[in-house]
Amino acid sequence: MKNTMRAQLGQSVNLTPQLLQAIRLLQLTAPQLELEMRQALERNPLLETEEDEIGETDAESEAAIEAATVEAAAWDELPEPSFLAGGGTIGEDDATARIAAGESTDARVRLLEQLRLTWDDGELAMAVFWLDRCDDRGYLELDREALLAEGAAALDVAIDGLEAIRQRLLHGECPGLAAADPSECLRAQLAVLRPSAERTLALRIVREHLDALASQDHSALATALGVDGAQLRSAIALILSLRAHPLERDADEQTHVVPDVLVWRTGDGWRVGLSAGAMPKLRVSPHCEQALAGGGSDHTALRGLLDEARWLVRGIAMRNETLLKTAQVLVERQREFLERGEEALAPLTLKEVADAIGMHESTVSRITSGKYIQTPRGTFELKRLFAVRLEGATVGAAAVKAMVKRLIESEPTNAPLADDAIAGLLARQGVRIARRTVAKYRDQMSIAPANLRRTQPQARTMSGF
């Protein structure tokens, strides 16, 4: 055997403990940051809280932000989180995956963490693609065929392989996830149940007669299926025990949120500020810092605590500064939405915001994940202010969905608008979308088809399906 030596050049990101801490702080929500601060105060005697009023910026805070910006360049060079960015491969060398943090509140992120243990990189990349194109309820946001074409081109994979991954997600740990419509979601949940006569009948109902089920015309449904009332009631009871959406909030999950950002309107325009929970006043004790300023080896352990305290203060300062800058750009770009509502939500991407604040897309992804903004129009996640631009249109999908809802709400009760008629009305406004896209948005808003809205005006929405 002959031993040889070979030189090889490569690039890598070295994550220092301080930078890892800064990244973890960036991803914390307001309640999580408050808990982190309380734990740090208990652990480190050199930290203390400030009694200054919220919103007041002193020289010490500005110095902390200035010192923290030294690490910003390395921060922005980190691998982009694939799930939030909508692509890429998740590998075992993803440094951000090793950051100690609490469990994500997003079920899709938790699922990816589980899949990471058994799926290879190629399969994970395709899973990321599908999950990133699901809405908060777990349904695909766009037409399945269009997404297959997009994913095959973006990931350079076969369409059959990409669809196979969707099927694994659909029938996996969270049955119904990445479903194209409610019928597919319900069928996936029924498929994992024990075989029985009720399950077989329920599958027929959700596959062939879901509209009849939504209209609650049980006699017509029993006639069409050729079953008696008792059998039908058992099958319907089984269907009603399923989840209406792939992803649903747990019954015991906290239903209220603490906003990280506050937005209000003044005579000069829109103002943006951090909430009290998002901007904790934490500092290094000046008396302890002065006492440790001298030399000597007797205080080695305390100096370690001092360095830890300084990095925590800097990390919080950088986190708050980034959050505020990002929120200011979002509010500035979505002023029309704040003033007029959903139909004025402008298309906006992570890259556009990142370019505006001079940071990387991954930084914007982390700082907006799980953060809430309180506005005169309600409290919602920051990510709601991002919108995908529809092909051939100047508006985003959320705005089009709001337009569809408005047209249906204002339609004559005796002559409801069909999906193709709604598409035609939108085309007159410069928004050209297909009839099936109108139908998809209508289903997402749980609005019944035109024929059901005409025959049963008292039940203009489908009950959960």
Pair 316, 70: CB distance under 8 Å: no
- Hey, is 428 helix, strand or coil? helix
pLDDT for position 280: 61
Residues 359-386 pLDDT 10s: 888 888 888 888 889 888 888 888 888 8
The pLDDT of residue 160 is above 90: yes
Distance between alpha carbon 275 and the CA centroid of its chain, in Å? 21
Sign of CA dihedral 289, 293, 296, 297: positive
The pLDDT of residue 162 is above 90: yes
Number of H helices, E strands in the chain: 23, 6
- DSSP codes joined into one string, 247-289: S---TTS------SEEEEEETTEEEEEE-TTTS--EEE-HHHH
The pLDDT of residue 52 is above 50: no
How far, in Å, CA of 160 to CA of 166, rounded? Answer: 10
Type and span of the H or E element at 92:
none
Q: Residue written as tokens 């509209």?
A: 211
What's the token pair of residue 248? 């649903």
Q: Residue written as tokens 């003033």?
A: 339
How far, in Å, CA of 162 to CA of 154, rounded? Answer: 11
157 confidence band (pLDDT: 50, 70, 90): very high
What's the token pair of residue 140? 């695909």
328 confidence band (pLDDT: 50, 70, 90): very high
What's the token pair of residue 291? 């006492």
pLDDT for position 431: 75
Sign of CA dihedral 285, 286, 291, 297: positive
Q: Give the mean pLDDT of 197-213.
A: 86
The pLDDT of residue 14 is above 60: no
Least confident of 35-49, 108-122, 207-221, 378-392: 378-392
pLDDT for position 90: 35
Residue 40 is given by DSSP the state: H
Give the class (CATH, top level) of 397-459: mainly alpha
10 confidence band (pLDDT: 50, 70, 90): low
How far, in Å, CA of 366 to CA of 109, rounded? Answer: 13
Least confident of 11-20, 209-218, 275-284, 412-421: 11-20
CATH topology of domain 87-132+137-179: Arc Repressor Mutant, subunit A (1.10.10)
How far, in Å, CA of 46 to CA of 313, rounded? Answer: 11
How far, in Å, CA of 272 to CA of 280, rounded? Answer: 17
Pair 152, 87: CB distance under 8 Å: no
Residues 380-409 pLDDT 10s: 888 888 876 665 555 666 777 788 888 888
pLDDT for position 457: 41
Least confident of 91-100, 215-224, 340-349: 91-100
329 confidence band (pLDDT: 50, 70, 90): very high
Calculate the average pLDDT of the chain: 76
How far, in Å, CA of 240 to CA of 242, rounded? Answer: 5
pLDDT for position 284: 81
Pair 445, 405: CB distance under 8 Å: yes
pLDDT for position 15: 57
The pLDDT of residue 127 is above 60: yes
Residues 272-309 pLDDT 10s: 998 875 566 778 887 777 767 665 556 667 777 888 88
The pLDDT of residue 100 is above 70: no
**Percentages (nearest 5) of helix, strand, coil residues in the chain:** 55, 10, 40
Nearest to 39 by CA among 315, 396, 312, 323: 312
CA distances (Å), origin 247, targets 237, 290, 318: 20, 53, 33
Q: How much of the chain, in percent, has pLDDT values that exceed 70? A: 74
Least confident of 71-85, 123-137, 315-329: 71-85
Distance between alpha carbon 261 and the CA centroid of its chain, in Å? 17
pTM for the model stands at 0.50
pLDDT for position 400: 77
372-375/378-381 β-pairing:
antiparallel
Q: Give the mean pLDDT of 215-229.
A: 82
